[in-house]
Amino acid sequence: MKAIDKETAIGRMNTFGSKDIPFLFIIDYTQQHSYVEPLDSIDASVCRYRFGKDGNTPDAGTRHAGPIDWEFTPPPAAGYRRSFDIVKRNLLDGNSYLANLTCKVPLRTNLSLQDIFLHSRALYKLWLKDRFVCFSPEIFVRMEEGKIKSFPMKGTIDATLPHAETTLLDDAKEAAEHATIVDLIRNDLSMVSDHVTVASYRYIDRLQTNRGPILQTSSEICGTLPADYTSRLGDILFRLLPAGSITGAPKLRTMQIIAEAEGYERGFYTGVMGRYANGRLDSAVMIRFIEQENGQLYFKAGGGITAQSRWENEYHEVKQKIYVPIY
């Protein structure tokens, strides 16, 4: 597989869609590097994927044999707070209303990237040999039968806490964060579709992890695509990028703020991955992401920051998201 630039990726997706050629796509956060390949040309020794029931490798569904070693070094609290303060200052100054702040965490485990792919349980899974593995629960967009749907996910809590669901739904900061991202995604979908509506608002998903269950809130937003959308898949998808849930609002200014605050390159983390076949496009935001660099593994994680956020709570949430869904 060879990485291609943005314009080539858009053209290839448009061509494959117009000819109804099934394909896989992987797009990095900045949209400068992408993979767009026909499904029948993907070498499973280099790239494996499973999106729901579709993939080029069996859905393992098996337990990992033996104990799992899982140790990570949290970002230094003082360093995280410096990044948080950059974001919070811009929020209070009115430069942004919501920003997704992420970090890069060294990880030590007895699992290989391929082990994690094979044994993790997630709605969307992707493995690139010697590069990264992603096990994402978050749908980006789905296109089928003239409709486009998005399912932004914002708000996380430890499911074992007393009254966890009520606490999550009643949290003013989480509610404000979710409302902002739903409004952003609704506006994004309005750029590529008509009759955009919020079909479901702040429903609860339960996710199982190697460290116990967590709850997350999501919403469903849908719109009507133009009649020729399959010949414009690349144009439509790239118009929506980067995903609002992992940037913020307003999108462009917030990206500048988080670039200053984070101090590292996200790469393919928080990009999107997906598959088109039989008239249906399915895609995911690339969160829950482990990357290999010079033999060292790094878990990339983050969360949404609003003017009401407290750095201690956000720091705890980041650590809570450093898990692998093997259980």
Q: Please state, in angstroms and rounded to a whole number, the distance separating the CA atoms of residues 51 and 283.
A: 8
CATH architecture of the region 6-136+227-320: 4-Layer Sandwich (3.60)
CB atoms within 10 A of CB 194: 10
pLDDT tens per residue across span 171-188: 888 888 888 889 999 999
Q: Please state, in angstroms and rounded to a whole number, the distance separating the CA atoms of residues 191 and 231.
A: 17
pLDDT tens per residue across span 234-267: 999 999 999 998 999 899 999 999 999 999 999 9
**96 in Cβ contact with 253 (< 8 Å):** yes
Name the band, by pLDDT with cuts 50, 70 and 90, for residue 153. confident
pLDDT tens per residue across span 278-326: 999 999 999 999 999 999 999 999 998 989 899 999 999 898 888 888 7
Q: Is the model's pLDDT at 274 over the cut of 80?
A: yes
Name the amino acid, one letter, at 232.
Answer: R
Backbone angles phi, psi at 306, to 5 degrees: -120, 175
Q: Please state, in angstroms and rounded to a whole number, the distance separating the CA atoms of residues 306 and 8.
A: 36
User: Percentage of the chain with pLDDT > 70?
Assistant: 97
What residue ranges do the domains of the chain occupy? 6-136+227-320
Q: Is the model's pLDDT at 221 over the cut of 70?
A: yes
- Residue 285: both structure tokens together: 């935001």
pLDDT score for 317:
87
Name the band, by pLDDT with cuts 50, 70 and 90, for residue 148. very high
Cis link prior to 106 (omega < 30° from 0)? no
pTM: 0.89
CB atoms within 10 A of CB 262: 19
Q: Please state, in angstroms and rounded to a whole number, the distance separating the CA atoms of residues 167 and 161.
A: 9
Q: Is the model's pLDDT at 141 over the cut of 70?
A: yes
Q: Is the model's pLDDT at 327 over the cut of 70?
A: no
Q: Please state, in angstroms and rounded to a whole number, the distance separating the CA atoms of residues 164 and 167.
A: 5
* Contacts of 30 by beta carbon, 8 Å cutoff, 6+ apart: 242, 266
pLDDT score for 271:
98
Q: Is the model's pLDDT at 15 over the cut of 90?
A: yes
